[in-house]
């Protein structure tokens, strides 16, 4: 690498490295309850609290409840790990490895000795008997916290899921990674130019943060990898984003949305805004009269809550969410809380709260404090109040948008805020170190070392 290039990279590398080290040291214990847990062997009058789901909200509740001496805590999740979903797209595009964004639940809760962790699939809730049903087993509860998150919504077209998989789990990310990388390998062997072009066409359905981030990451993968590893494919790959709204990032300020669109176009991404998907078949996406031939189609158009409403036998709201009160409890089900993406909750101004990690974490902490308070005294806790810390979306290297209250940022400053925020929210010291190091290496070398097809 030339000295002039190193000098140009010196400042961003120094800033990114310093920020990463500072955040790792400053946030190593961020969000952890203070003090040592009492070592008493038995609490005969402990209340049985069951948390279903170890995402952002569930894990936050567990960490704050785990030190209460009068709580017998059980955490249930169908996976054995907590997953940092906002960075799943980087696993899918070979920028990070799965273990960089996932932490074993038992490892996270290991310091809290009186927490029982069960890897089980919840099939129902018996609110009369106050039991969580997991197949043939039943787990009794006095207080229940449901934080099972969301799943892709295909708006009544469930058959589309076979054509356009979503991105919600590690399995999803690894499957997409193999499909994306495999497309390049197959394209080098394609004798028919039409077949090659089909394999090298990637369609993202949905122009929200997930769609924008995924599109930008695939575009960068194509830009950095094809000239070096697949020179014969250079200039043949294309990325298309389809969005039903008239603009991308519809919930951001207009000029931030325009910036995102301009940057994606500069990266070679084709935008189809203001059009709806009307049909799908393997290798084909129908947009009214227009048909896109694509080897890889990724769904990022919407989500819906898991089957919580069905479990509780209550009516569901928009996106299958369960209506909760200002205290995040389900009406007519005292002691049953629903938080995160599964809950339809309102802010103090009456607006519905978005499905963000920050919302889930704040709700998880609020519920933990409310439960602990209810065990110690009979006073009524204040209703939940969400503190909005803004919205972020990254488009690519030194390209991002940030909306933090009245502050609007674009470009490198927004990208640095985005990277800082993601490092902060990552669970575990190891994850923060490895992700910071991997991003720094990738920034300098423009290489992605996770290009393994399994």
- Please report, in angstroms and rounded to a whole number, the separation of the first and last CA atoms in the chain: 32
pLDDT of 429: 67
> pLDDT by residue for the chain (454 residues), tens digit each?
444 443 444 444 444 444 444 444 444 444 444 444 443 344 456 789 999 999 999 999 999 998 888 899 999 999 999 999 999 999 999 999 999 999 999 999 988 777 999 999 999 999 999 999 999 999 999 999 999 999 999 999 999 999 999 999 999 999 999 999 999 999 999 999 999 999 999 999 999 999 999 999 999 999 999 999 999 999 999 999 999 999 999 999 999 999 999 999 999 999 999 999 999 999 999 999 999 999 999 999 989 999 999 999 999 999 999 999 999 999 999 999 999 999 999 988 888 999 999 999 999 999 999 999 888 776 667 899 999 989 999 999 999 999 998 999 999 999 999 999 988 888 776 788 888 888 888 888 888 877 888 8
99 is catalytic: no
pLDDT of 379: 65
The CATH number of 159-300 is 3.50.50.60
Q: Give CA 149 to chain center in angstroms.
A: 10
Q: Say which of 99, 185, 213, 245 is annotated catalytic.
A: 213
Beta bridge partners of 363: none
pLDDT digits (tens, 9 = 90+) for 204-252: 999 999 999 999 999 999 999 999 999 999 999 999 999 999 999 999 9
pLDDT of 351: 86
CA nearest to 230, candidates 194, 181, 266, 267? 181
pLDDT of 325: 95
Residue 403 tokens read as 């909306």
Cβ neighbourhood burial of 452 (10 Å; 0-12, 13-18, 19+) = exposed
As a three-state string, the secondary structure of the chain is CCHHHHHHHHHHHHHHHHHHHHHHHHCCCCCCCCCCCCCCCCCCCCEEEEEECCCHHHHHHHHHHCCCCCEEEEEEECCCEEECHHHHHHHHCCCCCHHHCEEEHHHHCCCCCCEEEEECCCCEEECCCCEEEECCEEEECCEEEECCCEEECCCCCHHHHHCCCCCCCHHHHHHHHHHHHHHHHHHHHCCCHHHHHHHCEEEEECCCHHHHHHHHHHHHHHHHHHHHHCHHHCCCCEEEEEECCCCCCCCCCHHHHHHHHHHHHHCCEEEEECCCCCEEECCEEEECCEEEECCEEEECCCEEECCHHHHHCCCECHHHCEEECCCCEECCEEEEEECHHHEECECCCCCECCCCHHHHHHHHHHHHHHHHHHHHCCCCCCCCCCCCCCEEEEEECCEEEEEECCEEEEHHHHHHHHHHHHHHHCCCHHHHHHHHHHHHHHHHHCCCCCCCCC
pLDDT of 24: 44
- C-beta separation of 78 from 101 below 8 A: no
Domain with CATH 3.50.50.60 in the chain: 46-152+304-376, 159-300
CATH says 46-152+304-376 is which class?
A: alpha beta
Residue 234 tokens read as 């250079």
Sheet of 284-287, strand order? 279-281, 284-287, 290-293
């Amino acid at each position: 690498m030339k000295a002039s290039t190193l000098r140009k990279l010196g400042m961003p590398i120094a800033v990114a490295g310093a920020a990463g080290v500072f955040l790792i040291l400053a946030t190593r214990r961020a969000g952890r309850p203070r003090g040592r847990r009492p070592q008493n062997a038995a609490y005969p009058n402990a209340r049985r609290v069951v948390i279903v789901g170890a995402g952002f909200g569930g894990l936050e509740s567990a960490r704050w409840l785990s030190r209460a001496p009068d709580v017998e805590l059980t955490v249930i999740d169908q996976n054995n790990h907590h997953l940092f979903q906002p960075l799943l797209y980087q696993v899918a595009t070979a920028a990070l490895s799965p273990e960089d964004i996932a932490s074993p639940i038992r490892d996270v809760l290991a310091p809290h000795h009186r927490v029982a962790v069960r890897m089980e699939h919840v099939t129902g809730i018996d609110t009369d008997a106050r039991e969580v049903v997991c197949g043939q087993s039943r787990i009794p509860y006095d207080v229940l916290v449901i934080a099972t998150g969301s799943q892709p919504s295909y708006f009544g077209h469930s058959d589309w899921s076979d054509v356009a998989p979503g991105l919600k789990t590690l399995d999803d990310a690894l499957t997409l990674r193999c499909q994306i990388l495999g497309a390049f390998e197959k394209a080098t062997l394609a004798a028919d130019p039409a077949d090659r072009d089909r394999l090298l066409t990637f369609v993202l359905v949905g122009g929200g943060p997930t769609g924008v981030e995924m599109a930008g990451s695939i575009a960068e993968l194509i830009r950095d990898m094809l000239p070096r590893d697949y020179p014969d494919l250079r200039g043949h790959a294309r990325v298309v984003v389809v969005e039903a709204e008239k603009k991308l990032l519809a919930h951001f300020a207009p000029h931030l949305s325009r910036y995102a669109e301009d940057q994606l176009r500069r990266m070679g991404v084709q935008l189809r805004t203001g059009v709806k998907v009307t049909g799908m078949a393997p290798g084909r996406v129908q947009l009214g009269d227009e048909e896109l031939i694509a080897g890889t189609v990724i769904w990022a158009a919407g989500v819906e809550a898991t089957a919580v409403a069905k479990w509780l036998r209550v009516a569901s709201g928009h996106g299958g969410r369960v209506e909760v009160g200002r205290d995040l409890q389900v009406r007519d089900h005292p002691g049953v809380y629903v938080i995160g993406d599964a809950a339809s909750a309102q802010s103090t101004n009456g607006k519905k709260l978005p499905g963000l990690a920050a919302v889930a974490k704040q709700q998880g902490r609020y519920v933990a404090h409310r439960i602990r308070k209810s065990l110690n005294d009979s006073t009524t806790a204040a209703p939940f109040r969400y503190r909005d810390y803004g919205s972020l979306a990254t488009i690519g290297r030194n390209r991002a948008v940030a909306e933090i209250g009245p502050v609007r940022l674009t470009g490198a400053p927004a990208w640095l805020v985005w990277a800082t925020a993601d490092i902060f929210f990552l669970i575990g010291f190891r994850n923060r170190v490895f992700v910071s190091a991997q991003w720094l290496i990738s920034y300098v070398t423009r290489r992605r070392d996770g290009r393994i097809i399994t």
